[in-house]
Every structure is written in structure tokens, then in C-alpha cells.
Structure 1
């Protein structure tokens, strides 16, 4: 899938433009180009530290954040590859705990693009190659890879022998590539399964679980599913986790939402279903408070956009952009935002996303919806989203940007910026804090 990516660094911006001129077909997914590119670069994927590979529709990035926090709490050096970024392109590649700097990113990317001249790999595939080169050349104890899209044909799936694989929550997204059938989506995500490598999963409906198990079984991957191999529940302010090794009682994560507790539990299960890297229970406990993942029910308490709101307001941001994510956020709002403060949704949606399905969970919950476009992206117009919200019985107003939306509020409110990672990134750019 062709990414719309910019960088404020002139050298990185020029390299992104160079890749765009090389790309043969940005909307084609598959492993042929990335394999050819990595072959030219000396197969860096064969020299990585033990890999933890994470797929899913929602929650895979947060799961990666919990994995990183637990491993680092255990004293390990950890590489991390995630996507997309919110503000800076560098956010995608973390080398032994530190975001790649502009000098190394530029040098690595130029080398990859030199090898890419006749291959025409996509920007995401170039990202993966850059990360693998950087990870190969810096010692670390573990490497966390987040799947970009799907699983079976995702560029990260060139890893032949990961340490453990995980699948977070599943839902419909990227339907133009993964299909509109949940069973088919599940099979694509399960395509990261590898022979004799544990595949740790969340709890799914029977037909979805059967689809995942079928793919795993076809390659000889043992499935370690929540509800059978391990269990987790949130009770009395703690995560109660149990597997064949015993029970753990963990504090609730700093990241807000019941869904984040289950993402944390998936990370714990992944770490406890492998035996190569020792992660003691105190490190798992510490990870609940250490893990950070920007724009996931993140509250902003200062900054230029926050200062534009009426006194007594709150400002929250979440990058959720599909109906499954919206249901989780709406459920959190109903459970925890019960103080009577008005909820105002600042909403935008890419044209390729299910805007109606993403708005619907907020019907009767949000007192007002302020609709925006997303600059530089193929998005639904603010006017179209305003009309959509009104058909659902919501009071709605189309606005021209985030500053216009903030300035439009005259009474204290709980403001939730939602619907797009690009919109979340724009808010963090304008308001801070920037992801570190």
C-alpha cells in the first residue's frame, strides 16, 4: 500500500521523494521485492537478535510497547520496528532503546535506495530494510517487529525463525487488501506463524480461532491462545494472569483502557511462552507502569492547542481509525467518563476507512462532533463527515483545522481527537509532547 509520508528534514524528504520515483507499484503487497532487496543488502534479517513478531488489527503497537518495557525492565537491549510514525519518520526505528537519528537514517536509507534502483520496492519495504541493516549492526538482546499490514504478505514476514509470534485483537481494516470477511482477515494475520514457533493469540470467536489454528497447524506452529493456554482478566484494579507456569497479579497499565490491560497480558503471554530470554515477574510488573505508546487514549495537559480550550476542559487524543477501535474507546468513555462533562469529538477519516462505523459507537455519547479534513491525504471532507454525523443524530460542525476546532468551543468540555493516526500526529506536532 502506498504510504503518504513527509519529513521536515530536507535530506530525508529528498530520499522519500527518490523512493517514490523508484517504486514500481506502491499498492502491490507481497514478499518478492523485499526478499530481492534484502538479498542485495546481504540478508541482514538472518543476523538479528531473537525476534518477537506481532500482528493484529488493533493493539499490536501497544503490545510492542509492553514487550519493550518488560524486556528493558529486565535489563535487556531492545530493537523495535513499528509503523506508522506520528510526527517524525525516525519513530519507526528504535535501535537498542534509542530512536534512529537523522544522520544514520539518511545514510542507511541512501544505501537501501541504491540497492533498490531496479527492484522498485515500496516505501514500507525500504523502511524494513533500513531497520534490518541498523539492527544487524548494533548489538541487542531482542528485536520487536510490528507487522505493517496483514501478516502473510507483510514485508516483516521475511523473518524465517522468530522467537515467538503474537496476534492482538482482530477486526476489519484495510479491506481493499485483506478482504471484508473476518475469517479471511484472520488467516492473513496468522500468516506470520512459523514451524515450531509459539503463536500466542488473544481470545477470538470460535470461527476466527479455528481459522488461526488452521493456518498455524498447516506450518506446525503451536497455538497458545488466551482462554486455553493462558487467561487474563481485569478485576479489583489488577490484571489476574495465569498460564501453565502459574499465576501473576499485575498492576493495571498506565495506558488507559481495559483493552490496554489485555494488550499488556498478550505481551506477558508472549514472553512467558518462550525460554530464550529471561524476563522475571518484577520486570513484568514494572512494564505496566513503564510502557508508553503515544496517541492511545493519551491525555494532553499543556500546550498551544490545550491552552485554546475553555478553562476546566480536558484534551485527549487517540489514533484509532476503525470501528473496532471506536467501540473500545466508547466503552472506556462510558465506564470512566461519568462526571457529566460534555464530550466533544474532533473527528477526521481517510476516504478508505469506514467513517460511519467509526462514528457509530459515539452516538448518544458525544454531545458534539467537530469534523476536519486531513491535510495532504485522501480523506473525507469535513462537510461530508458533518452530514454523516447529523444523520446519526449528532450535533456536528465542519471546521477547517485543529485550531479552528479548539477555538470553536465556548464551554468546558472533554475533547477527544479521534479517527486517524495522521490527525493524532498533527495534534502532537502542534501541541506536543513529541513522541520520544
Structure 2
């Protein structure tokens, strides 16, 4: 799949709006209306918002539903190696022919009117889903929730809010309650909402919105609980106790994400077998992913090579905690970040366990933080830091100096995507 035709259309779309992000639903409604509202013809929708864990939670819900023999669609963002990853139809990732078809239809319907890249690609995904028979459609919010382009479903089957934390403050607000208000905008009247672990300030806002909408809440710590016990995952709700294998996805934070996914599956009346499938079968690239083959791995020699796309303070804390659970090895970071992120907040937890950080710029990203500035932030966080021209150069240098190193490439999903593409 070359993607040449769809890439050309996507490139033209990038020029249709001066801002990459402009939160409003007016343009989306106009465009959906031009093609007879495909969002009204979807399979039952599960709509997922939150700051951290959306993708992993979606992956586990999808694995559970598919474990029950159901046909599941999924919309996620951003993509890592290629755009097609964003649109998963019931039989797999969207084909180049199908993607080009829906993008072309919306490009013709839109003409030269202002529209953001995420808005028109979301509309294209909804049209592709409307034409694809399925049992469930999983939609991951791109940014926020209330004014996100995915928030056009009047009556989803279920909404889900993963942990809310400070991120994207320039778009969503400077405080946790302000951000939680945007996330809670996906709550719909009388539709059950599964809520993951939250700080009290965020939970109060979510509860208030649920009350206004008459939406039943299924909240962590109130209606369901999850914990690890003797190498197993234990989930408890009003229906009883589940004793399950630990999630296939690595990290203590994945226990929380697993709990959210299990609460969602139980809300959909799934029995124990799909819940076990959710734990055993879920896959989600660039979430503490061990790279085991490819040119980068070959260049690392005897060193371990890991990849993670987390990029905010909460993700840094979860990542640091997960790494401490692995067998001891000297940890060295290769990090590239965007200039919109809290770089110091992400790095401070990792500074407690890492021996060094090598900063890189993210190739092809206009918003990349220059490597030297990333290195300066790392030094301010307490890390020994230097720069490298590329991830490949950084990995090779660390591996030569510390042959038994554990090398973690981190800081951005955009960097993770470049790494996966480069590593084949």
C-alpha cells in the first residue's frame, strides 16, 4: 500500500485552515450534512475521552469485544507510521482504495472552505464506518471532548473518561477543573459513563455534568475497583469479582486502564470470557513497547531497546513506575518532544531512575523542540544530558558506551511513529 493518492489529498487538506487546532463543531456539522450525516448511521458507539490511557483502554475494549466474536471498528489518533492506522474497520485497517474514496468525497463536498485536518479526516472516518457493517464503533477523542470533531454522536451506547490530567492547556484551560469540563463534554443524556481514577477536582466536574445530563456514572472507587494481587488482576463491581490474567500491556498504569476497559465491557453485559480476552489479546504500539527486531535493534547490540509515546507529567510518572518493575539494567533515555508540552514535568519522574538523556529533534515536525532545548530541560530536571543528530546515532552511541543498557526512546507519539517507520 503506497498511500500516494490518500497522502496527496491529506496534504491538500493541511492547507485549508491556518490553524492546526481550532476547536468548534460548526465546520464538522456543515461537512457531515453535505454527505447526508453518516454519523447517524453508525454501529453502537463507545466514545472515549481523557488525558492518559485512551488508546490503551480502547485497545482492551476492542480485544474484549472481538473476543466475544463481535465486529468492531475503531478510530484513534495520531497515527504512528501511516495514516491508515487511524481508521480500523471490522476486517482490519482501512485499505488505500477505501481511504482515498472517502477522503475524495469529502474534499469535493468541502471545496476550498476552511476545515482543519482532524475535522475532515474524522468526517472521512465516520463515512467509512457508516459503510462498514459492524457491531460496535469505538471513537477516541482527538483533543478535549466538548468541541472535538468526534463529539457529533447524539446517543452513543456508552461514554468513557480515562484519567484527566494537565495537558494541552493552551486549548483546554489552565486548571484541572477546566480541562475536566472539556472532557466531560462527551457525556450524553441518559447514556452511562464509565469513569476512570480521577483527582477529586476533576471528578467533581464530571459528576456535576453527569447529573445535568441524567447520565448514570460507573466511577472507579465507587462502582468498581481494580487491583493486582499475586500476579493476577482482580476486578470487582456490583455483579461480583473477576480473577483475570494481568494485562498484556506493560506497566502498573495499565492495571487502571484495564479496570476502565473491564467496567465498560461489564456495562455492555459482556461475560468473563470477553473480559479475559481484553487482558490477554490487547495490543497497542509505542506504549512501553519492547523493540525486538529491525535496524535500530541491530544497532543496539546487546542493549535492550524500548519505545513509549507518553509526553506529559502523568505519563512520565506512570512510565517511571513501570520501568522500576523491570529487571535492573542501567537506563538511558533518547528523548524528543514537541514545544507545546511540559518537558520538565515529563522528565522529573524519569530523572529519578535514568542515568542519562540524549535529546533529539523530531524529524519532519514543525513543532519539535530543538534537541539542545530538550537537553537543557533535562539538565534542569536533574539528568545528565547531551544531544544527537538522530535516534539511530543516539542508540548506537549509548550501546557502544553501555553495552548492557536499557535504552528508552520517549517523549512523543510523533517521535515514536518515526522510530517505528525507520525500524521497519
Which residue does 2:198 correspond to in 1? 204
Unaligned runs of 5+ in 1: 1-6
1:308 to 296, 299, 302: 299
In the alignment, the residues of structure 1 paired with residue 184 and residue 289 of structure 2 have an alpha-carbon distance, to the nearest angstrom, of 30
Which residue does 1:426 correspond to in 2? 418
1:349 to 337, 360, 372: 337
Change (3 A) 1:207 1:22: closer
Which residue does 2:251 correspond to in 1? 257
* C-alpha contact (below 8 Å) 1:198/1:274 kept by paired residues: no
In the alignment, the residues of structure 2 paired with residue 298 and residue 97 of structure 1 have an alpha-carbon distance, to the nearest angstrom, of 24
1:237 deviation in Å? 1.2
Alignment of 1:44-193 (within 5 A): 44-117=38-111, 119-193=113-187
Give the number of aligned pairs: 420
What secondary structure is seen at the aligned counterpart in 2 of 1:239? strand
After superposition, the C-alpha distances for 1:315-354 in whole angstroms (9 at most, x for unaligned) are 10000011110100001122x1352x11000011101111
Normalised by the size of structure 1, how large is the TM-score? 0.94
* C-alpha contact (below 8 Å) 1:22/1:117 kept by paired residues: no
1:388 deviation in Å? 2.1
What secondary structure is seen at the aligned counterpart in 1 of 2:15? helix
1:417 to 396, 402, 409: 409
1:284 deviation in Å? 1.1
Are 2:312 and 1:331 aligned?
Answer: no
2:374 to 369, 373, 385: 385
Are 2:358 and 1:367 aligned?
Answer: no
In the alignment, the residues of structure 1 paired with residue 279 and residue 155 of structure 2 have an alpha-carbon distance, to the nearest angstrom, of 28
In the alignment, the residues of structure 2 paired with residue 46 and residue 67 of structure 1 have an alpha-carbon distance, to the nearest angstrom, of 22
1:287 deviation in Å? 1.9
Normalised by the size of structure 2, how large is the TM-score? 0.96
1:156 deviation in Å? 0.7
Which residue does 2:273 correspond to in 1? 282
Unaligned runs of 5+ in 2: none
In the alignment, the residues of structure 2 paired with residue 30 and residue 85 of structure 1 have an alpha-carbon distance, to the nearest angstrom, of 22
1:13 deviation in Å? 2.1
1:11 deviation in Å? 1.4
In the alignment, the residues of structure 2 paired with residue 247 and residue 234 of structure 1 have an alpha-carbon distance, to the nearest angstrom, of 13
1:68 deviation in Å? 0.6
Pairwise CA RMSD of aligned residues? 1.4
After superposition, the C-alpha distances for 1:89-144 in whole angstroms (9 at most, x for unaligned) are 00000111410011111111010111112542211111111111111111111100
